Amino acid sequence: MKFEELEHTADAGLRVFGNDLREVLENAAEGMFSLIGAVQFEERDLVERRLEFPYSTAEAALLQWLRALLLEFDLRGFFPVRVSLELQPARAAASMHGIAFDPQRHALRTELKAVTEHGLHVKRRPGGGLEAEVIFDV
């Protein structure tokens, strides 16, 4: 399982899984956009964007990554459908393929106002791999 939705009374949350931080970040992006909605697309509609960001901790990486994606969506309507990341010790580089969101064509689910720091964590799982939790303001 890549992610599951967390129960939260007012807002929305995700528990995200991955073998390493790179996978957690990729799966978190997929999970976050699954909350925003599902879009139909064709390969020829996809555009590529790249993003780089520095990070200090796993939590900081998750926060900055999801905030950057949400900002891209809000400002430029970029809805990623495939992402891949390369992680260096203090810097991440992302390649994202996605579509230009059009509110007239794409009926989406809900607006995520923000990625919160409430209860945000990334921890090791007893059986191996990582698990993260993140709450979004809806």
Partner 1 sequence: MTIEVRNVGENWWEIPRRGGMLVPGRILATAKQMGTLTADPCMQQVVNVAHLPGIVGYALGMPDIHWGYGFPIGGVAATRLEDGVISPGGVGYDINCGVRLVQTRLVFEEVRDRIPEVVGALVAAIPAGVGARGAIPRLTPREVRRVLERGARWAIDEGYGEAQDLERAEEGGCLASADPDAVSETAVERGAPQLGTLGSGNHFLEIEVVEQIYLPEVAARFGLEIGRVAFLVHSGSRGLGYQVCDDSLAAMGKSMDRYRINVPDRQLACAPIRSPEGKRYLGAMGAAANFAWANRQIMMSLAERTFEHVLGVSPRDLGARLLYDVCHNVAKLESHRVDGQSETLCVHRKGATRAFGRGHRDVPRAFRDLGQPVLIPGDMRRGSYVLIGTERAMNETFGSSCHGAGRVLSRAAARKAARGRNLGAELRERGVTAFAHGRFALAEEMPDAYKDVSEVVEVVDRTGISRKVAKLRPIGVLKG
Which residues of the chain form contacts with partner 1 (CB under 8 A)? 5, 7-12, 36-37, 67, 71, 74-75, 77, 101, 103, 107-111, 113-114, 116-120, 135, 137-138
Q: Would you tell me how many other CB atoms lie within 10 Å of the CB of residue 11?
A: 15
Would strands 114-115 and 78-88 be described as parallel, antiparallel, or unpaired?
Answer: unpaired
- Nearest residue to 30 (alpha-carbon basis) of 67, 92, 63, 79: 79
- In the complex, the smallest distance separating the C-beta of residue 19 from partner 1, rounded to whole angstroms, is 26
Query: Which whole-number Å values give the CA distances from 46 to 33, 39, 69, in the listed order?
Result: 16, 12, 16
Of the two residues 23 and 59, which places its CB atom closer to partner 1 in the complex? 59
Of the two residues 23 and 30, which places its CB atom closer to partner 1 in the complex? 30
Of the two residues 67 and 129, which places its CB atom closer to partner 1 in the complex? 67
Side chain identity, residue 43: E
- In the complex, the smallest distance separating the C-beta of residue 6 from partner 1, rounded to whole angstroms, is 8
Of the two residues 67 and 91, which places its CB atom closer to partner 1 in the complex? 67
